[in-house]
Amino acid sequence: MTNLLTLTRMRVQLALRNKMFFFFSIVMPIGFFFLYSGVFAKGDPIVVAYLLGPVLALNVMGSFWGLSATLVMFREQGILRRFHVTPATATDMLVSSVLANYFLTIPTVVVELLLAKFLFHVTSLGDLTSIFLLVSIGTVSFGSLGLVIASVTNTMQETQVLNQLLWLPLIFLSGATIPFTSLSKSVQHIALFLPATYLVHGLKNAVVNNFGPSKILLALGSLGIWFLLTLFLSSQLFRWEPEAKIGRKAKFYVATTAIPFLLLGIWEAKNGRVIAEEKFTMQRVDHSQKAEKPEGSKDGQPSSDPTKQEDTKPLD
């Protein structure tokens, strides 16, 4: 335990000195927040609340990118070799990486929630307990995905390519960038097999629909099982030395980590719960926006001609 705590503290210190981590874990999430809230939502508190789930999800998901790149860079530069001569084990190194990433992600999430509350005047942030649980389990699970990527790639170039191949479908098919209800039915069914979909969906429900932990157990459970699988796999494939290469066959083991969401996707495709809840959330947001607009107004602006607000009948 002492080795784990010491490694975690050192990883936090090293991350704070790393420009790549600073960009992906602080600059990019805050940039996404202002892009979504100020540009896409146009400062409307109701829309900001709806987009807060995807914004938090992007923050959580982005952790795998910085973590994988950092570990591969450490291995190429021989930094992991220095850790190897200490009493620390591979498990200590991997768990400390996830913990350090978690401790550095939470403050950014808190800042985004505070900005939504006080800068964009979001009246309710939803169920904070559910948000905390989803962000916590999501951060460690996607962080463990970064560990797997770092374990199966041999160079930084391979890591960046694999990160891109995973990042694009995660953000475009999950509802993090494009509203889930705007996707075609076939794409929606494909998205049901992605872990990011359940993270984004769960955060939307927690913020907009005020869902408590009991109503998001499926998302929490699937992400938790995925975390255990990815952490175990990365511990089996972890390498300290840059000279140690991993065979191509070993990379296929990564597919086993998709089992929880393969089963969940099949069940959801038949049940249709996620798709139905996404439509309900969108309808609720639309209804809230219309309820806030004065009668006879357009886009929230009162009509300049009072006669246009009167009930007129066609002439005989």
Alpha-carbon distance of 17 to 75, in angstroms, equals 17
Q: How far is CA 142 from CA 98, 133, 196, 212, 241, in A?
A: 9, 14, 9, 22, 24
Q: Judge whether 85 lies within some domain.
A: yes
9 vs 131 pLDDT, higher one: 131
* Contact criterion met (CB below 8 Å) for 53 and 206: yes
Q: Judge whether 309 lies within some domain.
A: no
Q: Judge whether 222 lies within some domain.
A: yes
Q: Judge whether 308 lies within some domain.
A: no
pLDDT tens digits, 166-200: 999 999 999 999 999 999 999 999 999 999 999 99
The model's pTM: 0.88
Distance of CA 156 to the CA centre of its chain: 23
Mean pLDDT, to the nearest integer, of 21-42?
87
Q: Judge whether 314 lies within some domain.
A: no
Number of domains within the chain: 1
Q: Judge whether 254 lies within some domain.
A: yes
User: What one-character DSSP code corresponds to residue 37?
Assistant: I
pLDDT for residue 251:
67
User: What one-character DSSP code corresponds to residue 294?
Assistant: P
pLDDT tens digits, 85-140: 878 888 888 999 899 889 989 999 999 999 999 999 999 999 999 999 999 999 99
Range of the domain at 161: 2-289
User: What one-character DSSP code corresponds to residue 240?
Assistant: S
Say which amino acid occupies 193. Answer: F
Q: Judge whether 294 lies within some domain.
A: no
pLDDT for residue 312:
41
pLDDT tens digits, 144-170: 999 999 888 888 888 889 899 999 999
Q: What is the number of helices (H) and of strands (E) in the chain? A: 15, 2
Q: Judge whether 313 lies within some domain.
A: no
**Whole-number CA gyration radius for the chain:** 22
Alpha-carbon distance of 303 to 187, in angstroms, equals 41
